[in-house]
Structure 1
Amino acid sequence: MSLRALLISSSLTLLLAACASTSQPAAVESAGFYRVKPGDTLFRIAQNNRVSVANLVRWNNLKDPSSINAGQLLRVSPPAGATQASGKPGRQPPGRPASKPAASEPSKPAPKPVASIKLAWPVKGPVIAKFNGQGSKGIDIAGDAGATIRAAASGKVTYSGKGIRSYGNLLIIQHDNAHLTVYAHNQSLLVKEGQTVKTGDAIATMGNSGANRVKLHFELRVRAAAVDPMPYLAD
């Protein structure tokens, strides 16, 4: 074979190989992962995939379980060698095939958010740190260890645990599809994930978990964004 023929043959071989490699479909999301959709909450994703919120926080190294974004890819099954933390929803009964996540079902229209929200003080005490949107995404309220912390508004508990060290024992309550409140550094947690609470219900006791002093770190999130809760708190 002449040198020219050899070069042409080699070029055609490389071209065909390149076409073959580019003709393969792009990699799709593998089993065990979920792409966050608008309106999703971590609690709803946990329910649909029959895992606990604590596990989702741990498997995805989430620094803030109250803030997930549409398009974000989350691991919803344990990585190799990982153990599952206890928490609701419960395990799938043995011998029964796992149900498909509700994400595969026709989505229901989300309820319209309320224009604003009124909050009751979760605990009485002096405000020792104010909201600045950066280092402090809420306010800190001083008080006595063991003092009762109450729900600032009615809603559903979407997180109850200690998966984020800097927040200590943490509670998150979803009030509607736009508003949620965050309660951090608690001594003990009195409610569980999935539980419905009303304004003023006892939800935790004040402590210093994840903090250098006894205090409640309280946040208000509007569509996942932290806002100053002070204008919403009733006098």
Structure 2
Amino acid sequence: MKPFGHRAWLLVLLAALVGCAGPHRPAPVYDRYNPAEKAPPYYVVSRGDTLFSIAWRYGFDVKRLANANNIAPPYTIFPGQAIELKESSAPVAAKPKPASPAKAVTTPSAKPSANVAKAPVPAVPKPKPKPKPKPKPTTPAFSSESWRWPVHGPLVRRFVASGQAHKGIDIKGKMGEPVKASRSGVVVYAGSGLVGYGNLLILKHSERYLSAYGHNRRLLVKEGEQVKAGQTIAELGDSGTDSAKLHFEVRVNGKPVDPLKLLPRR
């Protein structure tokens, strides 16, 4: 028998290596919801940011964040602006109204003679009452509505308050399925600037309550738009994650709460 040559050994080694190598699998994608990062002293505003999205990212109450930066409602900010990341309970001082010009005072040069007849004083018509201004649209009152499920799929991940926090719930759904507003409110953020949320909507329901809808395929409403409870606001998708689902959050005074404590039981 001939000795086992070097070429034969090489063929055996190659065959073993090929057998061990299985099909290539991509690295798994993990959701990242507001990583537990320490807020820096300042945040520089980028295009597409709103004060609501900045407050949401770092877990601040938007009103207190605005007060700390002397930003009055409707909380307009600009790219390149430095936002100090802290809260203050002191309200922003209202701008003083310009003083009205002083009326000219006229003094008669001489008193009229007693023999001169007084001219009749014409009647002065009474001014018509000014029409009352129409009230500006306000955020619907929180107490007038109950919460609704934004989609009706199975719950695949629950709220976690401590540790590596998951600050909302994940609801499985079909791609393109309608996502509905859980309550009436105003759209205060619509974009994809928050890492881990994909295409995200944030709704303001009152001075205390906000809700968020993440991983959408398409957003159907714009910032500043008022929406009603049950209105379709987006299409369910997998943006920012690895499967079709909706990430839903509720915050009270900037702090996340378990949505299951607000939503009706199924």
TM-score, structure 2 normalization = 0.52
Contact 1:53 1:159 in 2 (8 A): no
Partner of 2:160: 132
Q: Work out the CA distance in 2 between the residues paired with 1:61 and 1:154.
A: 21
RMSD over aligned CA atoms reads 3.6
Q: Which runs of 5+ in 1 are unaligned?
A: 1-50, 81-101
Structure 1 range deviating more: 126-135 or 64-73: 64-73
Structure 2 vs 1, CA of residues 229 and 60 (structure 1 numbering), >3 Å: closer, same or farther?
closer
| Matched ranges for 1:83-232 at <5 A | 104-105=94-95, 114=142, 118-134=146-162, 135-232=165-262
Q: Determine what percentage of the aligned residue pairs are the same residue.
A: 39
- The alignment of Structure 1 onto Structure 2 pairs a total of residues equal to 161
Contact 1:64 1:164 in 2 (8 A): no
Contact 1:66 1:172 in 2 (8 A): no
| Matched ranges for 1:61-76 at <5 A | 63=57, 67-68=61-62, 69-70=64-65, 72-73=68-69, 76=77
Secondary structure of 1:191's counterpart equals coil
Secondary structure of 1:177's counterpart equals coil
Q: State yes or no: 1:55 paired with 2:53.
A: no
Secondary structure of 2:196's counterpart equals helix
TM-score, structure 1 normalization = 0.58
Secondary structure of 2:48's counterpart equals helix
Q: Work out the CA distance in 2 between the residues paired with 1:153 and 1:60.
A: 22
Q: Note the C-alpha offset of 1:165.
A: 2.4
Q: Note the C-alpha offset of 1:213.
A: 1.2
Secondary structure of 2:49's counterpart equals helix
Structure exhibiting the larger radius of gyration computed from Cα positions: 2
Q: Name the amino acid aligned to 1:130.
A: R
Secondary structure of 1:54's counterpart equals coil
Contact 1:157 1:172 in 2 (8 A): yes
Q: Note the C-alpha offset of 1:212.
A: 1.4
Structure 2 vs 1, CA of residues 232 and 137 (structure 1 numbering), >3 Å: closer, same or farther?
same
